[in-house]
Amino acid sequence: MDVETMRATVRRLLSASAPPEAAELETLTQLLRGHIAVLIPEVQAAADAMPEDDIPRYCALACIGEAHRKVGIDAGPGLPNQLAHARRLARVVNALVDHHESLG
């Protein structure tokens, strides 16, 4: 996993002074979807290795559920809706990376 690339993609959407143009936004959204597809099984495996009553495990599993839900949502028409959706996906990637790192 290339965590640095994942974090850079997240930063481009969450800390940019100017939002990306439509074409770049589409590319970033697809990158985020790919990152999520890679992260979910990694975080799941790390969580499965933890005891069932472990709170970080429970939090990671909840994050995975939220990631599945948000990936399945349609962005809706228009650039503002697409940007909001991409930012939600970026926050999911950020949280999944955090869980992956905290679970070891």
Per residue in 1-55, pLDDT (tens digit) is 789 999 999 999 998 678 889 999 999 999 999 999 999 999 999 999 999 999 9
- Please name the amino acid found at residue 3: V
| 3 state DSSP class of 73 | coil
| Separation CA 19–CA 33 (nearest Å) | 18
Is this prediction's pTM over 0.85? Answer: yes
Site of tokens 């936004």: 25
What is the structure's pLDDT at 104? 82
- Looking at residue 40, what is its pLDDT? 97
Cα–Cα distance between 38 and 45 in angstroms, integer?
12
Judge whether residue 62 has pLDDT over 90. yes
d(CA 17, CA 99): 27
What is the reported pLDDT for 47? 97
Q: What is the pLDDT of residue 11?
A: 93
**How much is the pLDDT for 53?**
93
